[in-house]
Amino acid sequence: MSESTPQPAMSTPGGAAHVTHQVTIPDDVPMVALLGRRDEVLRAIEKGFAGVDMHVRGNVVTLTGPPGDVALAERLLDELSQVAGSGQPLDADAVERAITILTATTTDRPAQVLTMNILSNRGRTIRPKTMGQKEYVEAIDRHTVVFGIGPAGTGKTYLAMAKAVQALQAKQVNRIVLTRPAVEAGESLGFLPGTLNDKIDPYLRPLYDALHDMLDPDSIPRLMAAGTIEVAPLAYMRGRTLNNAFIILDEAQNTTPEQMKMFLTRLGFESKVVVTGDVTQVDLPGGARSGLRVVQEILTEIEDVEFCRLTSADVVRHRLVADIIDAYERWDATQPREDARQRSHRTEQRAGRNQR
C-alpha cells in the first residue's frame, strides 16, 4: 500500500483552498508498470482529475488540488499500485474503469475487480473489467441458474464461456453445452447455401470464436468429437437431461416462452446453467413475446436463480458503443409503444407483399 504525506494547505488566487499530498509508491511496485508505456497511465490519471496537478519524482507522486479530488486521486494511485504490484498490466482503459468504480456507490475496490482472473490461455488472461461483470461472474459461482441480461458488448456470453471452460478444466463438470436459437435477424435462413448444418453454422459461429480464444484451437475438434464440448441449436435440446454439464443459452431474447421453459427443464444433477441475452434486440417474428422477458416475471422469487442486469457502464468494446446504446435507449423512451396487434398486422402486410 502506498504512503501519503500531507503538506500545508494553500489558497489559489480565486480563494479556493488547495492541498498538497505526497504519495510514496512501495518499492516492490515497478514505476514503469504503474505509469504505463510512455506515461500512458499517468496521462489518463491527469485526464480523470483535471483539477489536480501531478508531479512524479522517483517513486514519489506529488498531488496538488482541491481536497476532495486529491483524496480521490490518492485512493486511485493506491488501487493502481496494488494492480501493478500483482503483475497485471495497466492502461488508460483500466484507469477509466478504476475511476468509475471509485466514484460509484459500492464497496467494491478497483484492485479487487481488475485482479480477478478467470482463465489464462496462451499468455492472455480473461477477467471482469467492471463492477457489473465482477458481480455477474460471482453470481455464476454462487448459483445454479444465472441470467445475464444486458446490451451488446457487456461480456455476457464471453465471461460465461470463460467460466464454463474454467469449470471443465477444474473437473467441476464433465462437458460444456453451448446453444442458441436459430432465429433470423432480418435475413432468410432458407437462402443460405449448403446443408442444414451449413445453414445453422453462422448462428453458432460467435460461440466457436469465443472457444478459440480460450482453448488451444487444435484441441477443440477433439473435444467436440468426444462430446466434451457441444455446440448446437436450441431445437436439439428437446427431450434431453443434461447432467454434470455447464450449459449456456446465448441470444435468449429470441426464445419463445415455451422454448425457454423447455431449455430450463433440461437441467440435470451437478449442472449449471447460464442464460444470456439482450431484451432490446428481439428478432422473433409476428410480435411473439420473448421468453427472456417472460421468465423474469416467473422466476424472480425462485431460490438459487439469479438475474444479473448489465448496463452500458459494463460495455467493454469501443467507448462509442456505450454512447450508442444510451442514445438508442433515450430514443426508444420517446417512441409510442406498439402493441402486439399492430406488430402482427405489420408482419402480415409484409408477408402479403412477399407472396406477391
Q: Are 7 and 20 in contact (CB under 8 A)?
A: yes
Strands 175-180 and 229-233, sheet pairing: parallel
Strand partners, 19: 65
Domain 3-114 has CATH 3.30.1370.10: yes
Backbone φ, ψ for residue 258 (5° rounding): -70, -40
What does the alpha-carbon distance between residue 147 and residue 226 come to, in Å, rounded to a whole number? 28
Q: Is the dihedral of CA 156, 157, 162, 165 positive or negative?
A: positive
CATH architecture of 119-355: 3-Layer(aba) Sandwich (3.40)
This prediction has a pTM of: 0.76
What's the Cα-to-Cα distance from 114 to each of 2, 118, 185, rounded to whole Å? 18, 11, 35
What does the alpha-carbon distance between residue 182 and residue 188 come to, in Å, rounded to a whole number? 11
What does the alpha-carbon distance between residue 281 and residue 296 come to, in Å, rounded to a whole number? 16
- What does the domain layout of the chain look like in residue ranges? 3-114, 119-355
> What is the residue-level pLDDT of the chain in tens, covering all 356 positions?
555 565 555 545 554 578 898 889 888 888 888 888 888 888 888 888 888 898 888 889 999 998 888 989 899 999 899 888 888 888 888 888 888 888 876 677 888 888 888 888 766 788 898 889 999 999 999 999 999 999 988 999 999 999 999 999 999 999 999 998 876 444 444 554 555 455 556 667 778 888 888 998 889 889 999 999 998 888 889 999 999 999 999 999 999 999 999 999 999 999 999 999 999 888 887 778 999 999 999 998 999 999 999 988 888 766 677 778 778 878 878 877 554 444 444 444 444 444 44
What does the alpha-carbon distance between residue 124 and residue 328 come to, in Å, rounded to a whole number? 33
How many CB atoms are located within 10 Å of the residue 5 CB?
Answer: 11
What does the alpha-carbon distance between residue 123 and residue 120 come to, in Å, rounded to a whole number? 7
Q: C-alpha cell of 339?
A: 402493441
What's residue 194's pLDDT?
Answer: 55
What does the alpha-carbon distance between residue 159 and residue 318 come to, in Å, rounded to a whole number? 18
What's residue 316's pLDDT?
Answer: 78
Q: Are 275 and 136 in contact (CB under 8 A)?
A: no
What's the Cα-to-Cα distance from 237 to each of 168, 194, 242, 306, rounded to whole Å? 20, 23, 9, 22
- For every residue of 224-277, which 3-state class applies, written as one string? HHCCCEEEEEHHHHCCCCECCEEEEECCHHHCCHHHHHHHHCCECCCCEEEEEE
